[in-house]
Amino acid sequence: MPLPQLVLVYEPEDACRTRLAAQGFSERNALEISSYLAQSTDLALEFGAIAEACGRRGIRFIPTALDDAGLALASADPRATLVWTLTDGIAYFRGGVAPALARLAGLRTIGADDSLFALCQDKFRSGAVLSALGIPVPPAGLARNGDWLIVPPVSTTGYFAKPNRLGAKIGIWPDSRCRQPDEALEISRRVFSAYRDDVIVQPYVAGRNVRASFLAVDPNVGVEALGVFFVDSGADFQTMADSMALYGDTAAAVKAEGAYAEPELIAVAASQPAADRRIREIARGLMQGLGLKDVLSMDFRVEADDTVHLIEFEVCPGLPCFDFRAYCAAQWNLSLPDAIAETAARRLGEPP
């Protein structure tokens, strides 16, 4: 029997920027878009620590850039290989191909199946599916370069406009919260010009931002292992500039200038236990109804009266981000490298 191995597939920021430049994106916009892949940059600094943690558990750790994944996975032994996809993507990013390649090669994977990698990257389509499952998501319209594809519902609270397929707050500006539909259409023109993307337009939802994180280090756990925290950054919502200051290639300069401010994490259950219970019910519904498993995150808005709104879910949460590290420490009493290695060890110890 060959030595068990964990193959971590990731897409680097620089490879993405090179590809976007070849497609005609400006240097600035390519830099902004590629910052979605910042967790690859940040986690690469810890590949040695992950390899050491895996080695203590009798596992070989093989970090593999996405462009090399096809050959690497095709030649892997299904009896001894586990594939963990670090970065997703179906449009600007390509990580969604990794779990499909693993399935093609008959390899075991960490995380949801490849169909959900595609669904979560399209906010409008995923919202429609979530709504059909009875999940509380804001209704939405869709605009493309100043024209409505789907007119949003009338809202007395104003609107929030954001790119439909981009993540990490790319294309979210201070004026993304707007009052009138015409303002949302103007934002869609700006987004289309910079990123060639549609804009999802939803009624503005009041409340505090909540991040729910999940890693099934023990494969038998359920929503009781979900970490549910208010993410208080001092602002109503995070912008693209906020996100780029936290992670990846662009963060080092910001931190050096003293402009880095990590948001505060506060357990939702401490002040709003009913909202915490509702979030866990929603997570259970997503696991049962969609097949989410192993590793995921969800973003919510929670109002003072415990009303909960699901904004989006991720099948590739930012593992090296401050919130996921805090979750691993609080829930599992493990560092991030040890949490990754222990999760893999328990899966590889199961029969194929």
At residue 260, the pLDDT reads 53
We report the CATH number of the domain holding residue 49 as 3.40.50
155 and 246 assigned to the same domain: no
- Rounded to whole angstroms, the Cα distance separating 244 from 108 reads 33
Look at residue 255 and tell me whether its pLDDT is greater than 70.
no
288 and 189 assigned to the same domain: no
Confidence of residue 180 (pLDDT cuts 50, 70, 90): very high
Confidence of residue 169 (pLDDT cuts 50, 70, 90): confident
Question: Could you tell me which residues come within 8 angstroms of residue 55 by beta carbon, excluding any fewer than 6 positions away?
Answer: 61
Percent of the chain exceeding pLDDT 90 equals 84
For helices 336-348 and 322-332, angle between their N-to-C axes, nearest 10 degrees: 60
Q: Tens of pLDDT along 15-64?
A: 999 999 999 999 999 999 999 999 999 999 999 999 999 999 999 999 99
**Of 15, 16, 10, 2, nearest in space to 83 by CA:** 10
Confidence of residue 258 (pLDDT cuts 50, 70, 90): low
350 falls within a domain: no
- Rounded to whole angstroms, the Cα distance separating 300 from 129 reads 17
218 and 320 assigned to the same domain: yes
Parent domain of 263: 208-333
Contact 39, 319 (CB under 8 A): yes
Alpha helix (H) residue ranges in the chain: 13-22, 27-34, 38-44, 47-55, 66-74, 97-104, 114-119, 123-132, 181-195, 240-244, 251-256, 273-289, 322-332, 336-348
* Domain final position from 70, 90, 119: 119
Q: Read off the DSSP letter of residue 112.
A: S
325 and 301 assigned to the same domain: yes
Higher pLDDT, 264 or 222: 222
277 falls within a domain: yes
50 and 110 assigned to the same domain: yes
**What's the average model confidence in pLDDT over 75-94?**
94
217 and 185 assigned to the same domain: no
Q: Tens of pLDDT along 283-332?
A: 999 999 999 999 999 999 999 999 999 999 999 999 999 999 999 999 99
Hey, how many other C-beta atoms are within 10 angstroms of the C-beta on 328? Answer: 24
75 beta partners: none
**What's the average model confidence in pLDDT over 134-142?**
96
254 and 221 assigned to the same domain: yes
Contact 276, 269 (CB under 8 A): yes
Q: Identify the helix (H) or strand (E) that includes residue 82.
A: strand 81-85
36 and 102 assigned to the same domain: yes
103 falls within a domain: yes
**What's the average model confidence in pLDDT over 166-172?**
87
Look at residue 234 and tell me whether its pLDDT is greater than 80.
no
What's the mean pLDDT when you consider all of the chain?
92
* Domain final position from 180, 203, 226: 203
Confidence of residue 90 (pLDDT cuts 50, 70, 90): confident
Burial classification of residue 134, based on how many CB atoms lie within 10 Å of its CB (0-12 exposed, 13-18 middle, 19 or more buried): exposed
Q: Tens of pLDDT along 200-225?
A: 999 999 999 999 999 999 999 999 99
Q: What are phi and psi of 191, to 5 degrees?
A: -65, -45
- Rounded to whole angstroms, the Cα distance separating 315 from 123 reads 13
103 and 147 assigned to the same domain: no
At residue 264, the pLDDT reads 86
306 falls within a domain: yes
230 and 327 assigned to the same domain: yes
Q: Tens of pLDDT along 65-78?
A: 999 999 999 999 99
* Weakest mean pLDDT among 18-22, 109-113, 235-239: 235-239
- Rounded to whole angstroms, the Cα distance separating 202 from 177 reads 10
Query: If you count DSSP H runs as helices and E runs as strands, how many of each does the chain have, helices first?
Result: 14, 14
Q: Read off the DSSP letter of residue 1.
A: -
83 beta partners: 7, 109
79 and 105 assigned to the same domain: yes
36 falls within a domain: yes
We report the CATH number of the domain holding residue 325 as 3.30.470.20
**What's the average model confidence in pLDDT over 75-98?**
94
At residue 29, the pLDDT reads 95
115 falls within a domain: yes
Q: Provide the number of structural domains found in the chain.
A: 3
Amino acid occupying residue 125: R
Hey, how many other C-beta atoms are within 10 angstroms of the C-beta on 154? Answer: 7
Higher pLDDT, 261 or 204: 204
Q: Identify the helix (H) or strand (E) that includes residue 230.
A: strand 227-232
Question: Could you tell me which residues come within 8 angstroms of residue 31 by beta carbon, excluding any fewer than 6 positions away?
Answer: 17, 249, 250
275 and 162 assigned to the same domain: no
- Rounded to whole angstroms, the Cα distance separating 161 from 169 reads 11
61 falls within a domain: yes
* Domain final position from 119, 152, 175: 119
348 falls within a domain: no
